Structure 1
Amino acid sequence: MLPLINDRAHACYVEAFAGSAAILFERTPAKIYVLIDTYGELVRLYRVVANHLDEVVRHFHWSQDQSRDVPVGTAAERR
């Protein structure tokens, strides 16, 4: 499907069922993107990543650092 989409230049690309948005991320760039999904939190996540990538990466690294301090396994396994 991607070769068919990339065959033509698009001023506006609309993805009606976002899901993983794999085609959106792999296609050749368009001037305008419209991402639609019934799950608003998913659309919000994509919007935040698209507009605030540096901040998302900073928070991701912070959560990675914090997870190193969390014990792995159940309480019984740690005894």
Structure 2
Amino acid sequence: MNSYEQPILDFVAGAAAEAGGGAMVARDTPLLETGMLDSINLVRLIQFIEERFGISVPDSDFGPDLFESPASLAAYVERRKQG
């Protein structure tokens, strides 16, 4: 687990709880397949990532691969921070 995963996991769990979902969120939880996050929470998640980690997520990076799981999001953040 990299240092970006826990804040992302916490955000996703909070957003899912607010939406009435009680499912557990793990690093490999499929975010889109499970419907855990609706479109508004996906936008909020991107805003959170940009503000929390000081990166910009260009529209060209939006896609199902980005939202595959909290681990895939954390790996994306790590790549953006390095390069």
TM range (shorter): under 0.3
Q: Highest CA radius of gyration, 1 or 2?
A: 1
- Hey, which of these two has a bigger chunk of strand by percent? 1
Higher relative contact order (CA 8 A, sep 6+): 2
TM-score by length of 1: 0.25
